[in-house]
Amino acid sequence: MESWVSRSGLSSLQRTSLNKIDTNLVFAFVERWHLKTSSFHMPFGEMSITLDDVSCLLHLSIRGIFQSPQDVTEDVVVNYLGVSQDEAQSHVRSCRGSY
């Protein structure tokens, strides 16, 4: 996993402090997430998070072409996340690929 993170250019995120995460805020966003539209349904309307938003919030440089980790397989999910083979297959199928 560390080599994937290193190659992705996201190594600086490993130093992010998890102590600063507001779990109540995260749970509030999770409850408002709408899977079909990939957006949050807020009291004031629908809200989407863009790549530019992520870049600004996490101080990441967005450059180059989009890359998808093609080598993420069900076996990797089973080994690293500790789920069953059936759960991994079901999730990979529902995502229509290795996302």
Helix (H, G, I), strand (E, B) or coil at 42: strand
User: Residue 66: pLDDT band by 50, 70, 90 thresholds?
Assistant: low
Tens of pLDDT along 17-41?
666 778 888 888 888 888 888 888 8
CA-derived radius of gyration, the chain: 16
User: Residue 72: pLDDT band by 50, 70, 90 thresholds?
Assistant: low
- Would you list the domain boundaries of the chain? 2-67, 68-99
Paired strand residues for 46: 41
